[in-house]
Amino acid sequence: MKVAVLGFGTVGQGVYEMLQHANGLEPGPVLVRPGKDDAPFKVTDIEAVTGDPAVDAVVEVLGGTEPARSWTEAALRAGKHVVTANKALVAAHGPELAAVAREQGVAFLFSAACGGGVPFLHNLALAAQSDRILSVGGILNGTTNYMLDAMQSRGADYAAVLKDAQTLGYAEADPSADVSGLDALRKIMLACAVAFEKLPTEGLYTEGIEDLTPADVQSFRQMDLTCRLVARGGIGPRGAVFAFVEPTLVPASAAECAVKDNYNLARYEAERAGDIVLMGQGAGRFPTASAVLRDLSDVLCGQRVMMPAGCVRVAADGEGCGHPYYVRLPAELTGQLPVDRIQKDGDTARVVTSSVTVKWMHDTAARLRAQGAKLFFAGIEG
């Protein structure tokens, strides 16, 4: 099967290199920006890909939603299988692109969009065919995991570990999608779509790690807890999907506690199979490229579907899940919280709340910040 590649950045180069040695696959043309076509295999016109009858499949690793959406749809309508690592594209347009793929009788697979080399969506899609999925989630962003691990193991501050992450290539020059939780949120949206046939696009809550301080880390140590940025999705007691991302404090017994450096941990709980946990490299040239080639191998074996045919967009239910929270905030504002335990240090208070819903905590934090308050909060699990 000849495979064209759209984009020749870090992941695109990894895909092209791995295609040289993959069983049953061979590299085709690579679409690049005008002026970058400095090799015979590089082309600058999408029609050189969609109009080439020798091309059987297309890998999209451009990033963003345009022109990725237009070119992906063009490839599907030309009868090409499409594999993508683009989480933003699938989160925004996945159901429509999957519908086009079904109309054309071709594949639209995207396991590389979530978890890098970790076969999370791959296994989740297979499990959902024969078992009822109860929940999904985990540590889905390697950049923030590296930063949190460094802050807690080395005692470094936020600015220093962010600079380290950028030097090592874990964080982009603009790391906002990672540190804000947006990257992980897009991934949990895809996991919910695969697991529950519901793509949550509204009512989503995300809290990042930008406001974490060394003093917070010291408090976590005193509580014998470890902080990780965790994504969660599931079906709440009212039957609606919940999906959110937030810093989360976990005990030493939790699998998330053992995830170091830039690794990911993805998990799902199935009614029959129980809790399934997968861990590995969550990003980078070859981990992500290996996931792309795994999808291409699935295409060779006849796999066509990852986004369920009945998948619909829904609003997430932020009241469908709840737990206690650690909150660091100005001491005069503690009356705004349902306090279970409190520790004051001058003008600052560190509170453990009673159990509240995700919606209540995130909405309360947004309201207090709008009033000028500086705070950090993290869910408490286990």
Give catalytic residues, as residue numbers.
Answer: 187
Question: Cβ contacts of residue 27 below 8 Å, gap of 6+?
Answer: 2, 3, 5, 16, 19, 20, 41
Burial class of residue 64, CB neighbours in 10 A (0-12, 13-18, 19+): exposed
Other CB atoms within a 10 A radius of the CB of residue 345 amount to 11
Backbone angles phi, psi at 367, to 5 degrees: -65, -45
What is the three-state SS of the chain?
CEEEEECCCHHHHHHHHHHCCCCCCEEEEEECCCCCCCCCCEECCCHHHHCCCCCCEEEECCCCCCCHHHHHHHHHHCCCEEEECCHHHHHHHHHHHHHHHHHHCCCEECHHHCCCCCCHHHHHHHHHCCCCEEEEEEECCHHHHHHHHHHHHHCCCHHHHHHHHHHCCCCCCCCHHHHCCHHHHHHHHHHHHHHHCEEEEECCEECCCCCCCHHHHHHHHHCCCEEEEEEEEEECCCCCEEEEEEEEEECCCCHHHHCCCCEEEEEEEECCCEEEEEEEECCCHHHHHHHHHHHHHHHHCCCCCCCCCCCEEEECCCCCCEECEEEEEEHHHHHHCCEEEEEEECCEEEEEECCEEHHHHHHHHHHHHHCCCCCEEEEECC
- The answer to whether the beta carbons of residues 142 and 283 sit under 8 Å apart is yes
Backbone angles phi, psi at 13, to 5 degrees: -65, -40
Backbone angles phi, psi at 358, to 5 degrees: -60, -45
